[in-house]
Chain A
Amino acid sequence: MSHDKLSSMQIRRRTLLASMAAAGASAGLSTLGVSRAFAQEPEKPAEIIVRAWGGSWVDALKAGVSDSFTKATGIAVRHDLTEDNEIQPKVWAAVAQKRVPPIHVNWDTTTNATKSALRGVTEDLSDLPNLKDTTELAKPVGLDGYPIVNTYGYVYVLAYRPSAFPNGAPKSWKDLLDPKLKGRIALYNDGIGFHFPAQVAGGGKLEDIPGNMQPAWDFISKIKEQQPLLGEDPDFTTWFQKGEIDAACTISTNAREAKKNGIELAWVVPEEGAKFDTDGLWIPKGLPENELYWAKQYINHALTREAQQVWLDGLGLPGVVPGLTPPADLVDDPSYPVTEEAFEHLIRISSKVQVENESQWFAKFKEIMQG
């Protein structure tokens, strides 16, 4: 019964949004201008809460999306820096107990967000007007509609300290096996980003994922002999800055952050390829209707070219709206793929496969690394 009510509400809202978009377009205004054009918009909450990653990540979001959203709507944006994996059970519990969720918008990895979508705790975002201007990257693969909107892509590059590679940039992930690098390399502590290139470096095929990943495990076992450090995003920046490591498989943003702080660093996509993945924004179910409306407006705003340009300049990552200008230091950079050719070197595995197997891969990686 409640389901019927919900869907009818959704239809009503969808029509409303569509008409608003049309009006906005005809008036030649940005979507946010629409809010001014329409007198009958839902009541504005004092603030909306957006979960974000800390450090340079939240700084970029604030500069690109949140500040301009507040300016246009008068709604303050509070950033909740709870870790993505810690907010997840809280949101799940809130939805299961039919409580109002603790956040309005979750900035999440597409894989994690897909888990929430599969569990059915995400609002459908198909009716966001700005979706029509986005590239195919914005659409989550293997899910119906838009329970998540992907907002940018990123590459798990091989970041390295050039002084530790006097013979030139590393060409292969196998270069990490150099005895010189023992104790001087780092991976994510769940191995994320490393499984797929390891499959190739170990002599296996990407098509065998997830059926036969033995080559990946063999390669990871060899890497284990190198005594890698295992960490999370901020760790990589710190470790590079403090001279703890010389090479890492990490999202380019973290390496770029250390480089901005004056550490000499570079990164490559090795010959085996590098994992390409996306992050997105989604809204948990159970928000009051007016707050849901404005949360959607926030995501819709994040898909405007202006917001994407500033946000992703900060992150140094390619967005989902055509016509963005790459930051000067990342033109033709392998971590900022824009051309078809650039994408050829990158490994993309569907979220569905990742979501279904991640726990096992994670457990296997841990088993090898903790052994």
Chain B
Amino acid sequence: MGVVDAVQPAVEPRDRIAVSVKDVSMVFGNVHAVRSASFDLPKGRFLTILGPSGSGKTTLLRMIAGFDRPTGGEIFINGQPVSAVPPHGRAIGMVFQKLALFPHMTAAENVAFPLKMRRHDARGIPEKVERYLDLVRLGGYGSRRINELSGGQQQRVAIARALVFEPDLLLLDEPLAALDRKLREEMQLEFRRIQKELGVTTINVTHDQREALVVSDEIIVMNGGSIQQKARPVDAYRAPSNAFVANFIGVTNFVEGRVVELAGSRATIEANGLHLAGLAADATLAGGKPCAGAVRAEQIRVAPKDGHLDGLETVVDGLVVDCIFEGERVVYEIRVPRLGGVLMRVFDHDPESHLQFGPGDAVRLGWNARDMHVFAK
């Protein structure tokens, strides 16, 4: 990996590390939910663990929160091992998937709950509750019952409750999954704003790649219980470390073939008799081995059949199968006969050229060699 320039320093000083996960595994019966996961999270960062359902991301989060005890490895928070510490003994705020607000209390009582449980000075509680309700823009809503608040307002109460006792760590267990898209995107920005304002170290779990890219300083992609990649969002997007990550983040087209030449970071593959140049993105690539070339939908350009695609190293002909208007862009589904009839998806963000092709039109596709990442299969 690490093809794209690594910006982060290689090693953080120890006292800057908020959470350190070392070789942590979790086995339920004969199911390996998490397989020897390791990572360090510096203080103040916003990390998102991204993965499909069943990838082990929630299990990893529950172990950090203390609800499950790892069957192997150790978790350190602020340098201290915490496996033996029960959840209520850890200074961790958590926002749950279904929020888990207490329905028998008002918004203010919910926010005051952790302060009372953690025996904060009772005189300071009302002021603090008010401050955190203000922070989540719910000033004046303190006396409302939970069922009198809208979905978004409930989200905000849950955030205030998780943060009010100034925890070392904030955990978000897919709290936005149930919201409609508009509210979800609004809350994503809200999470980011609050996190930046308070500087609290945050771990977010989601299966929504867009959310991961929007809110995070760092992303961990998980699949089948293993960490696939840990990187900045932009790096994970631009330089996925394997086919899974490439497929999971963004819309990616795969061209299957064999490696015919490896020269430094350049790899040439042979697919259906065509030789295509790409970027070797996988250390395990070897000549003659089967591989997949991945090209993102937005990095392919489309031109009329007799048009010009200047400067692109790879150009093939195709046939439009469908075109889908999505507002800010058009998605073309184009069959490429020369590549074994593979169906490629292409984004066209140019308002000028919107809907210039229709189903049945013959077109020409092209992309740069550096935009095709070659992974071992």
Are A and B close enough to touch in the complex, i.e. CB under 8 Å?
no
B residues in contact (CB < 8 Å) with A = none
A residues in contact (CB < 8 Å) with B = none
